Structure 1
Amino acid sequence: MHAKAGWSQISRRRMREIALGALRLIDPAIGEEIIDLQVRKLSLHEGQIVEIARALSTGAEVLLLDEPTANLTAGETVKLFSVLQRLVREEGIGIVFVSHRMREIRELCDVCTILRDGVTIANATPLASLSDADIIQQMGQHAQRPATHRKPQKGLRQSAPIELLGPDDVRIAILSGTILGLAGAPAGPTGLIAPLVGAGPAAGWRLSGRGFGDRFSSPAAAARAGIGFVSGDRATKGILSQLPIVDNVLAARRVRERRRIVAAAERQECHGLVSALKLKAGSIWDLPASLSGGNQQKLLVARWLGLPLKMVVLEEPTRGVDIGTKHDIYALIREMADAGTIIVWWSTENVELLELCDAIFAFDTDGQPKGFLPEEHFTEEGLAELTGMAA
């Protein structure tokens, strides 16, 4: 006797009940509002609520959140923290919260676990017993310098500025050696960056000056014209995962010079760059996967060091790296600016924009230009107010 083939029917009603139940655990009002929407139409905050609900629907008792506020507005961050605190208080859910923003850790967390090189240095230590300096020291890093407004280098020989021309007659003129920060939700900065680096549609922005055309046809064309680019998506748009470290470091030089073969002089140059960056690698012939995230990020910056560039554009170059690596990257960026290169830097970490940049251009939460942050408001609070993003 042959067994009959089994089959099952998906009950959309039951699916809806489960989804609504999980959403109501998080926010009693939000379930009915978003249950029938396509995910691509959700805000970042609503999308994160759905991700949390998905975990809760499986019966999860612990939520692990990795940098969950990176692209949230100030208001959305407040809402998320309220949700997490209620889940802990009313549902007994445990939260593991990973963030490089000390203010967020202190606002949300009760205890702190510190890891260094994969070793637990402090385990569930009450935050009340640790100062920020204690935490940084136990991470093996130096205390972060207070934010300082960097002044442009006076000794640079100034040529005509590069101008960025945007919608509604927005005009941004940038002189050699200037570090221009871009602040705000992703839609604004990425729309400006695309025509600079040949990475996509222009979104109303174009280039002017220094012999540039309106925009570039490809990242390779931009690189040959003297514009470097460090993508914020190092996994899929930055690192060449199937090629060794030496090919990753020399990639920009190959594109600019239309070369493919690694010459002996290039190998020596790569060793010099790896050493200058304090990049911890066993061999330049190892694959990038052998490197930590922070060292992979240094590798992307290394591609552009020592090249005769007019501009380097960076998207979130310090996202997900430790404090020591951040300051190594800061030093590299300052070095390039001091040599006369224009730096365009997008970051969702207000404190590093304020520390590094000569000027900051802001976008609101809808991606619309808001203008420059006045020097008298060069504070985290001033920038958060202008952009609507968390400080």
Structure 2
Amino acid sequence: MSFNEQLPDWEAPGTEPPASKRKSGWAPSDKPPADYFNWLFNRIYRVLKELREKAVVKTEDGKLVADQLVDGAATDAAIGSRTADPTQVPTGLTATLGQWISHLVNRYNAITGKAWPSLPTKTIEQLNNEKASLSGAHFTGNVVISNNVALKVKDKGGTERNAVLAQPDGNLYFGSSLPFVMQSSVDPMVKINNGDPQVLLHAGNYASHINRLGAPADTRNTNILPGAYPQGITNEFKLLSAIGIKAGSQYGFLVTYKPWTDDSGGSTQQMCFAEDTTCPIWHRSGTSTGGWGIWKPVGMNKLRYSTNGTADSNGKYPTVDYTRNDGLLYARLVHSNPDVNGNYRTVVTTYYGPDGKTALGTERVDRTFDENGTMTSEA
């Protein structure tokens, strides 16, 4: 906005009146020299010119006119302080000065994760220097996956698939809905379900992975639960004491057969071959929900049947022993809970180790009989 009136241009400098005359003023009889008037008109013109050049023009409503702000007029003192509001989220590219300050603080906090004026944990330059290369990187520290966070890969069709997924249930999922099972805090296992071949990885020893094909993997110190095995056949080298077998040798070759990925396809079976002349083969079965059953020695010479104790009133022996050719006890069956016809409805079998003395475990069978003494059920 420009001024409406023209300046009274007067360039003649004139002569400045003495201080005494400027103080006393003109007397009625004075005839001022022309240069005194030239000085006065020149001074008026120069002062008005300076005011116009340095003045800030306002509109009728009191607002400043932007095009009349002279350089340097908007000093910090003139503008004053502004207090930022970090909660103001920018919504566009137009805002007042105070809003811009608040928006910048809000974005700083969002980007750095810190509250202004705290410094970020790392600068952008540091992050750039430490980032993993897209063409490959070597990690020297731990890679941590938080709950419900997945590492994804793209299949041949370009669809993203979960490669690794950490769930709040404490399990780590590899590519499918079946988790790995934590065997212990010392040796957690990771199960890869969609690989070919499927494998189990032990975090305690990366070299000790289960090999489904060829030579057995060395997992000698781990008693792996049924739910942790993949579907199919798995070969392992085991320390017999680690898996609960009491035999005359120290090591064994363990073969595991799991018919399906879960218990719906049947229980998981294990056969262990030990260097033991008395009992070279052992068997057990288990489920993901129930764990392993007891080991039973098999593959030995024909067992001998013998009664133990005295017969009951019906001529039946409540206790029966099975012994090996060497005369050592293999299993003892104890019958109890007879019905009205003297049929024993409960049988508890205790299995013994190669020494014939160490009990390996027991099994209980409950039976029912009809009025003719024919067994109708067994569980």
Q: State the TM-score, normalizing by the size of structure 1.
A: 0.22
Higher strand share: 2
Higher RCO (Cα < 8 Å, 6 or more apart) = 1
Q: Which has the larger radius of gyration?
A: 2
Higher helix share: 1
Q: State the TM-score, normalizing by the size of structure 2.
A: 0.23
